[in-house]
Chain A
């Protein structure tokens, strides 16, 4: 293991190559993992170096992996309309950068630039995906922890928006009375969901398992599915129509998310646990398949191919939702907000 010489300002300097596993084990996302699991993750990592001023990635780039900073400093910035830039965070020794791409393989939501000569490791996205596909315990555990972290950050972002609402909100009124009921499309969950991205790869056995767990409901516009300030009752998979997640303001709601067909609503609240601040209402007459919290807990304890797939989809939904809520927050807070009123 060896000594770790202190650099300037007491920063710990990690010797590249010798201390990768120590570095991984020191990061909260990986803390407590079995040493063999740590070593497995280490095999998926490559060294990287960046000169001062060098970009590690640009906003909206396709994600290629997670960066572990061993020495140096990286600044995360977001570009906004008018070519303005907003500093989001400084990432230093022993910290991670871009870790949410492990959940959805999506595009970068910010730009990362080295402020000084920076060294570290990059856990390659494709190699991590191979660990996940092989159901390696390290990958499964890391993804579970990441889902928790995304849910926690979603709560934090929602709370920031909520605190700003007094000055900026014009809540949407309660939805209009529903139209007369028409014909309702019939079919089981496979009939409705199998054409949606992510659900299209489920086996017949998984569909049968899912059908035994979900409750199908037909909900008219204006129905409240989740009450703010209470724990979410479960996950709601939208088959037809749309749901709206929002912050209650007076008699109305400040819209944060619209969940259309194929979306899984309630993910952040379920993963984070506790009382959830958002209301979930039916925005358009909907057909919804609901997994209640108890059935989800059963899935967690006896993982099946369905469970692995479902939690993959939950992870992707979580990350998409956090990106969208973060963009809403940035739009409301950015410098040009004084010239872009939210009424």
Chain B
């Protein structure tokens, strides 16, 4: 079912975000605290570092290796500092039905666009929806779509709702594009008679903004036996502060002018008291305009 992580703020060593915390993203490969599922189907990240070439475009890493066992990922994490990040652990059913390949790893990246997307959840009966979505994709976006999954198509759908996928964007523009994409999916589901609970927790970022959704179509409408995501709203948490690091015996954001935002499927620390849940049917918008971050909780009523 996947785990997500997003970060926007002062540059932080990747190791401190995905490896070291006591409930780090890598640990969630096999020991997620808020998901009763293993996340073994690969890992991906998109990170922004102003010292790299084309700093407005992310550095990306995708691997189908089990993340916690991947030595290349750990080596990269010990060296790379990022000021923005979207990272994703992929979890799939263990019945052999999922296609495990590089193309299906999140976050999805489209050449020429800085906007990436990672997804926690799944669109039920997506195979019945796929071709009805084609008309809503810009031809140049459809031409570059190489992955087959619902998540990849969500990314393409969001990009197609933007005036110019190359950006730059405001957080409002990303949010409106996401809302329009979700509305399109809602209409296609209804036309196809699909009423099964389908979670769409997303983290989108262009390196300057984050939009994190906590949303489910037809929440509570599941087929027996009840599954997580059908009877529990998938979680999405965030925390704010000035500096993220190890202090007073724990990993946490410390107080200050609040320049940094962390958003994740579940808190990175066993002590969750400094984390807050994104409300159900809502989105967290974070923008970094003029070095003074603005964060908003907005309803998602699609």
Cβ of A157: which chain B residues have Cβ within 8 Å of it? none
Q: Which residues of A contact B255 (CB under 8 A)?
A: 82-84
Q: Is the CB of A81 within 8 A of B239?
A: yes
Binds A, one of B74-82, B157-165, B267-275: B267-275
Find residues 209-231 in chain B having any chain A CB closer than 8 Å to their own CB: 218-222, 224-226, 230-231
| 27 pairs of residues in contact across A and B, judged by CB atoms under 8 Å | A59-B271, A60-B273, A78-B273, A80-B274, A81-B275, A82-B253, A83-B241, A83-B254, A84-B255, A176-B301, A182-B193, A182-B195, A195-B226, A242-B220, A255-B299, A260-B220, A261-B222, A261-B230, A283-B219, A283-B281, A284-B221, A285-B195, A339-B293, A340-B297, A341-B297, A343-B296, A343-B297
Answer yes or no: A7 CB below 8 A from chain B CBs: no
* A82-B242, A195-B226, A286-B220 known; A180+B256 contact, CB < 8 A: no
Residues of chain A lying within 8 A (CB to CB) of residue B276: 80-81, 327, 331
**What chain B residues lie within 8 Å of A284 (beta carbons)?**
218-221
A295 shortest CB reach to chain B, Å: 24
Is the C-beta of B167 less than 8 angstroms from some C-beta in chain A?
A: no
A201 contacts B by Cβ under 8 Å: no
Interface residues of B in 243-278 (CB under 8 A from A): 247, 252-256, 258, 271-277
Q: A residues near B, CB below 8 A? A: 58-60, 78-84, 111, 170, 172-173, 175-176, 179-180, 182, 195-196, 238, 240-242, 255, 258, 260-262, 283-286, 327-328, 331, 336, 339-343
Chain A residues whose CB sits within 8 angstroms of the CB of B224 once the complex forms: 195
Are B297 and A261 in contact, CB atoms less than 8 angstroms apart?
no
In the complex, are the beta carbons of A241 and B240 less than 8 A apart?
Answer: no
Q: A81-B239, A83-B254, A342-B297 are in contact. List 15 more A-B contacts (CB 8 A).
A: A59-B271, A59-B273, A60-B271, A81-B253, A82-B258, A83-B252, A83-B274, A84-B255, A241-B220, A260-B220, A284-B221, A340-B240, A340-B295, A340-B296, A341-B295
Question: Which of B220, B240, B279, B280 has its CB near the most chain A CB atoms (within 10 A)?
Answer: B220
Is B279 a contact partner of A255 (Cβ separation < 8 A)?
yes
Select from chain B the residue with minimum beta-carbon distance to A239: B220
Contacts of B291 in A (CB 8 A): none
Q: Is the CB of A195 within 8 A of B219?
A: no
Contact with A along B14-46 (1 / 0, CB 8 A): 000000000000000000000000000000000
User: In this assembly, does B233 line the interface, its C-beta being within 8 Å of a C-beta of chain A?
Assistant: yes
Q: Which residue of B lies closest to A260 (CB)?
A: B220
Pairwise interchain contact A60-B296, C-beta atoms closer than 8 A? no
A261: chain B residues at CB < 8 Å are 220, 222, 226, 230-231
Tell which of A196, A240, A285, A341 has the most Cβ of chain B within 10 Å. Answer: A240
B83 at the interface (CB under 8 A from A): no
Q: Which residue of chain A has its CB nearest to the CB of B218? A: A284
B289 CB-CB contact with A under 8 Å: no
Assembly CA distance A242 to B232 (angstroms):
10
The reply to whether the CB of B180 lies closer than 8 angstroms to some CB of chain A is no
Q: Are A328 and B240 closer than 8 Å at their CB atoms? A: no
Bound-state CA distance A12–B233 (Å) is 48
The 4 closest A-B pairs by CB, nearest first: A59-B273, A79-B273, A82-B241, A82-B255
| Residue of B190, B230, B272, B299 contacting most chain A CB atoms (<10 Å) | B299
B176 interface hit (Cβ, 8 Å): no
Verify B221–A285 contact, CB threshold 8 A: yes
Taking A84-B255, A285-B195 as contacts, is the C-beta distance between A260 and B231 under 8 angstroms? yes
| B238 A81 Cβ-Cβ under 8 A | yes
The distance in angstroms between the C-alpha atoms of A176 and B195, with both chains bound, is 15
B269 to A: closest C-beta gap in Å: 10
Question: Is B273 within 8 A of A258, CB to CB?
Answer: no
CA distance A255 to B271 in the complex (A): 27
A195 partner residues in chain B, CB cutoff 8 A: 224-226
Q: How far is the CB of B52 from chain A (nearest CB, A)?
A: 29
